[in-house]
Amino acid sequence: FRIMAGKVKWVTDIEKSVLINNFEKRGWIQVAENEDWNFYWMSVQTIRNVFSVETGYRLSDDQIVNHFPNHYELTRKDLMVKNIKRYRKELEKEGSPLAEKDENGKYIYLDFVPVTFMLPADYNLFVEEFRKNPCSTWIMKPCGKAQGKGIFLINKLSQIKKWSRDSKTSSFVSQSSKEAYVISLYINNPLLIGGKKFDLRLYVLVSTYRPLRCYMYKLGFCRFCTVKYTPSTSELDNMFVHLTNVAIQKHGDDYNHIHGGKWTVSNLRLYLESTRGKEVTNKLFDEIHWIIVQSLKAVAPVMNNDKHCFECYGYDIIIDDKLKPWLIEVNASPSLTSSTANDRILKYNLINDTLNIAVPNGEIPDCKWNKSPPKEVLGNYEVLYDEEMAQSDGTDRDLRGRPGQSTGVKGSRARDSGKPVLTTWK
Amino acid sequence: MLDPDRGLSLTIARVVQRLQGSSLHSQLERQARVSLHKPEIKLESLKEDIKDFLKTSGWEKKLQNAVYSELNMFPSPCHPAAPPEHIKEPLAYMRKAQGSWEKRILKSLNSMSTELNIPLAQKRPANEQKELLNKWNEMGTDEPDLSLFRPVYAPKDFLEVLMNLRNPNYENGEQPSFRNHLGLIQVPLKVKDIPELKEDFSELGLNIGQLGIDDSAQVPPEFFENEHVRVGQKVLAEQDSAAAQQYVRQGCPTALRADLWALILNISNQPEDILYYEQLKSNVIQHDLLVDSLIYKDVKLTASNDDYYFVFEDYLYQVLLCFSRDTSVLEHFTYSSATPPKSYIQGKLGMEEYAVFYPPNGMNFNYNSFILSVAPLCFLYHEPSKLYQIFREMYVRFFFRLHSISSHPSGIVSLCLLFETLLQTHLPQLFYHLREIGAQPLRISFKWMVRAFSGYLATDQLLLLWDRILGYNSLEILAVLAAAVFAFRAVNLMEVTSLAAAEAVLADLSTLKVMPLLQIFLFATVT
């Protein structure tokens, strides 16, 4: 019985080389789930078990896991919307300038999620909204699924008759959360590049929710649809036109295995600066950072800020042709599968930088540490928002990002809204 | 030798001839006529008043830009009695080599046409025309069967031809030794050395601010960047081509680049330009050319697989298909060593009145290299007719020299020789080592230069490089950069023992920052 003193013992549910290679290169030791472990890269199923009333167990001080117990407050489509709506109402009630509305009753700063309803619960509310714009298109997404599964578009009420609560023909009996859907206004004017639709995948690491400390990975990417975008109604069924998930695009005829239909965020930045100008590009990226931070602030009060936890989220964002970013969803387990060589390198580095922040020095962790890593270990992460620092010192930021850089992502800075005294970053 | 006054008057005559009858000319006339209604124009001082009016209304500036553009494009006249082919290419052996190369390409094209039983050109049936019009914006998704088409030639074929160039009047009786030229190019063209390059590229010096160096994250923008942007905005407001050309030597701010390049190339996207583009587009719809399939194939091979350019695949088809039908491009053959190949209507071989240029723009080559010179422009211009014009202008000003055999200092032959000479002079040990292991440096760098580094560098770096091509009106910087890259990776290259290993060391240039490399090579290397 040899004691491997000082070596981190790891377990993983996700058998991906980008993970395992990172563990091994740190000299960590692989163990089984029922043994003494220090670091466990869990699937969402496992985290549910660990923190469940029946099967759960207490984690000890030297154990770290990669999910927050109730991450679904952010990562389930319906709960995310619910939390954001709640957050907005709270701000409105306390008279915060953030909750300011325009003459149409739309939030000026907090309108970043497309109008969304839960089905079947909000069916009637949805119908009311639908009738205001009968030509609109809506997207139906199952709450509990990922990778584009089960998603479809509708433009007629008849297409979702079965979700109507008092529909006599409804065979939709079970109202368990598994079969719940959200229906959102479809953004049918996405920004197109080369005539193609794309979305942004950004990685955000949260080390603690209270105080909120989060990091944005500089090397996000754009995922392009292989087929030219058309809002024409005849193509509503063609998922290759509308859904950018790689899981779907991969099966298209034109999917390319070398670049995988992806662009780096810095390419996007270069393109936008060159064709649209610097100010609007900076404004766009500022807004993107803003909506990410706001979404985290919205769920922070309800999150179980367990000190054994950190989490790396995959944020999906769509930019419309007015250069307004929309938050589509947040993924708790962003895909670690690599579709191309570049992809593999990116994800490997992502995990590497994540581990450097979450498990300082690669040594056996102590969950009581202050979760404030030194600047040098951030790698490709940049501080997105640090609540503690924001509260102690209003103007100084960790990384005053510079506009127009090849890497493009800026650290947190005061919002350039032109409005007086928006203490928005505190 | 021509005396300077004579030369000047010849130049003036030529510029006048070229601008006469142009749309700018008629616009100026129209403006002058309109100005007659203005109160400040008096009959007594008509000429002066009109001149003043044109100056204050900005029309003089437009004329200045047009003249400047002409001066940039055309070489200075050598002698009034010089025959036209001397303007194309003064050296006879070069002309001859270009001629045989062209014959070879044409033969290849003709045999492909015969083999596959596809005519060089044919009118499209009506239903095909309609179909093409419908999918004009997404030709990338249409996959015709291209397996039988092969590229007209590969870059290495072209390199072979260049390597075999010899000046019949030059006898190098010396024994091969260290002091001789050890490279692949064996023609005695004059190329610059580093002191001369330092002078020519003085704005790249260590004491002068550059975009690509002095705008990096560690440097506060107040030092250089902010002021440079301000100056750039002023240049654009003045609409002065010459000033713009000077300005971009220090690099273009990304937000200003599209407009600055358009100003330097004197592209204003007038309604008649848009109309011309639409006309070309309808030519594409109506007629199908054999070279179209070659274009398709090459776009699929190159741009579709590129990390940055795949998004613009459809634009590339649009631009290139139109370009191949653009007869205005034939103009540039007066100063290019190349000659457009002629083809004859079926059955009328040899009868001049039935001769046409094929393809209509006279360009026949490996579209591969050529496609990559369009793609970076898609990052700057998303309006098709503007994109088209910028590309066409870049082509007839610069990039055509990469595909033809000539003695011009920006021609590919001179660039190759410049590269080899720089390397041999300043990194002799490296050069000798690579030669010994069968990895002649030019074999690796040729493809970079012939493509102006497109497809090898990261896009933002490539655009910074092309800023300087426009700024200095020369492609020599490509050869300097190629040498600088070798210098940068010299340590690793000294350790390799095969061509394949050398290729591997130089395979990935996507992380390189070009301005520091150029600056160090030119200004900070101990010679």
Residue with tokens 């979404």: A295
CB–CB contact A263 B307 (8 Å): yes
Banded pLDDT at B80 (limits 50, 70, 90):
low
Banded pLDDT at A178 (limits 50, 70, 90):
very low
Q: Does A402 touch chain B (CB under 8 A)?
A: yes
Each residue's pLDDT tens digit, B494-504: 999 999 999 99
Closest partner residue to A195 (CB to CB) among B138, B225, B306 is: B138
Task: Please report whether residue B418 resides in a domain.
Answer: no
B-chain residues near A199 (CB < 8 A)? none
Q: Which domain holds residue B312?
A: 93-151+269-399
Which pair of structure tokens corresponds to residue A382?
């940049």
Nearest to A65 by CA among A77, A48, A81, A82: A48
Closest partner residue to B308 (CB to CB) among A267, A281, A405 is: A267
Domain count, chain B: 2
> Residue B40: which residues within 8 A CB-CB, separation 6 or more?
B49, B53
A-chain residues near B458 (CB < 8 A)? 406
How far A275 CA lies from chain B's nearest CA (Å)?
6
Q: Does A255 touch chain B (CB under 8 A)?
A: no
Banded pLDDT at B448 (limits 50, 70, 90):
very high
Each residue's pLDDT tens digit, B226-273: 899 999 999 999 999 999 999 999 999 999 999 999 999 988 878 888
Position with higher pLDDT, B353 vs A144: A144
Give me chain B's average pLDDT, please: 83
Which pair of structure tokens corresponds to residue B385?
């007719």
| Omega prior to A420 cis, within 30 of 0 | no
The residues in B 135-154 lying below 8 A from A, measured between CB atoms, are 137-138, 140-141, 143
B277 and B331 inside one domain: yes
Residue count of chain B, please give it.
527
| Average pLDDT of span A157-174 | 59
B52 and B103 inside one domain: no
| Average pLDDT of span A367-376 | 86
Identity of the residue numbered A338:
S
Which spans in B180-238 are helix H?
A: 194-200, 225-238
CB–CB contact A275 B215 (8 Å): no
pLDDT of residue A242: 62
Task: Please report whether residue B326 resides in a domain.
Answer: yes
Judge whether A163 and A118 are in contact, CB under 8 Å: no
Domain end point (choices B77, B102, B128): B77
Domains annotated for chain A, with CATH where assigned, are 9-69 (no CATH), 73-112+190-384 (3.30.470.20), 115-157+178-186 (no CATH)
B28 and B121 inside one domain: no
How far A4 CA lies from chain B's nearest CA (Å)?
39
Position with higher pLDDT, A171 vs B57: B57
Q: Does A366 touch chain B (CB under 8 A)?
A: no
Domain end point (choices B22, B46, B77): B77
Each residue's pLDDT tens digit, A400-414: 333 333 232 333 333
> CB count, 10 Å around CB of B206?
11
Q: Does A418 touch chain B (CB under 8 A)?
A: no
Position with higher pLDDT, B106 vs B148: B106
| Average pLDDT of span A317-337 | 92
Judge whether B144 and B293 are in contact, CB under 8 Å: yes
B-chain residues near A253 (CB < 8 A)? 141, 143
Q: Does A266 touch chain B (CB under 8 A)?
A: yes
Task: Please report whether residue B193 resides in a domain.
Answer: no
Task: Please report whether residue B201 resides in a domain.
Answer: no
How far A239 CA lies from chain B's nearest CA (Å)?
16
* Burial B490-514, CB ≥16 within 10 A → b, else e: beebeebeeeeebeebbeebeebbb
B279 and B143 inside one domain: yes
Q: Does B106 touch chain A (CB under 8 A)?
A: no
CB–CB contact B307 A271 (8 Å): no
Phi and psi of A174, rounded to 5°? -70, 125
pLDDT of residue A410: 33
| Average pLDDT of span A338-367 | 87
- pTM comes to 0.83
Q: How many CB pairs under 8 A join A and B?
A: 77
Give me chain A's average pLDDT, please: 80
B41 and B129 inside one domain: no
Percentage of chain B exceeding pLDDT 90: 29
How far B456 CA lies from chain A's nearest CA (Å)?
15
Nearest-CA residue of chain B relative to A197? B311
Nearest to B493 by CA among B423, B428, B430, B420: B430
CA distance A113 to A85: 10
Percentage of chain B exceeding pLDDT 70: 85
Banded pLDDT at B378 (limits 50, 70, 90):
very high
Nearest-CA residue of chain B relative to A196? B311
B274 and B394 inside one domain: yes
Question: Which of B143, B300, B311, B463 is the best mutation test for A, with the most CBs of A within 10 A?
Answer: B311
pLDDT of residue A423: 29
Task: Please report whether residue B274 resides in a domain.
Answer: yes
Banded pLDDT at B63 (limits 50, 70, 90):
confident
Percentage of chain A exceeding pLDDT 70: 78
Which pair of structure tokens corresponds to residue B307?
């990390």
A-chain residues near B299 (CB < 8 A)? none
DSSP SS3 for A217: strand
Task: Please report whether residue B105 resides in a domain.
Answer: yes
Q: Does B315 touch chain A (CB under 8 A)?
A: yes
CA distance A144 to A106: 29
A182 bridge partner residues:
A118, A141
> Residue A102: which residues within 8 A CB-CB, separation 6 or more?
A108
B303 and B381 inside one domain: yes
pLDDT of residue A403: 32
Closest partner residue to B379 (CB to CB) among A261, A270, A401 is: A270
Q: Which of A26-35, B62-71, B179-188 is predicted with the least confidence, judged by mean pLDDT? A: B179-188
Judge whether A140 and A151 are in contact, CB under 8 Å: yes
Q: State the sign of the Cα–Cα–Cα–Cα dihedral B376, B377, B380, B385.
A: negative
Nearest to B427 by CA among B349, B343, B365, B489: B489
Identity of the residue numbered B486:
F
Closest partner residue to B137 (CB to CB) among A228, A253, A281 is: A228
Residue with tokens 């202008």: B393
B68 and B102 inside one domain: no
B-chain residues near A254 (CB < 8 A)? 140-141
B292 and B376 inside one domain: yes
Q: Does A27 touch chain B (CB under 8 A)?
A: no
pLDDT of residue B176: 56
Judge whether A160 and A119 are in contact, CB under 8 Å: yes
Question: Which of A198, A263, A274, A321 is the best mutation test for B, with the most CBs of B within 10 A?
Answer: A274
Each residue's pLDDT tens digit, A184-235: 888 889 999 988 889 899 999 999 999 999 999 999 989 887 666 666 555 5
DSSP for B374-419 reads TGGGGGT--SHHHHHHHHHHHHHHTGGGGSS----TTSHHHHHHHH
DSSP for B470-501 reads HHHT-SHHHHHHHHHHHHHTHHHHHH--SHHH
Q: State the sign of the Cα–Cα–Cα–Cα dihedral B215, B220, B223, B229.
A: positive
How far B62 CA lies from chain A's nearest CA (Å)?
24
CB–CB contact A274 B140 (8 Å): no
Nearest to B398 by CA among B417, B415, B386: B415
Judge whether B409 and B177 are in contact, CB under 8 Å: no
CA distance B196 to B208: 18
> Residue A189: which residues within 8 A CB-CB, separation 6 or more?
A231, A320, A321, A322
DSSP SS3 for A389: helix
Task: Please report whether residue B88 resides in a domain.
Answer: no
B143 and B275 inside one domain: yes
Task: Please report whether residue B261 resides in a domain.
Answer: no
Domain end point (choices B32, B52, B77): B77
B68 and B145 inside one domain: no
B54 and B124 inside one domain: no
Banded pLDDT at B365 (limits 50, 70, 90):
low
Pairing of strands A181-185, A138-142: antiparallel
* Burial B349-377, CB ≥16 within 10 A → b, else e: eeeeeeeebbbbbbbbbbbbbbbbbbbbb
| Average pLDDT of span A84-101 | 91
CB–CB contact A270 B217 (8 Å): no
Nearest-CA residue of chain B relative to A408? B217
> Residue B295: which residues within 8 A CB-CB, separation 6 or more?
B317, B320, B321, B324, B367, B371
CB–CB contact B314 A195 (8 Å): yes
CA distance A74 to B137: 39
A264 bridge partner residues:
A221
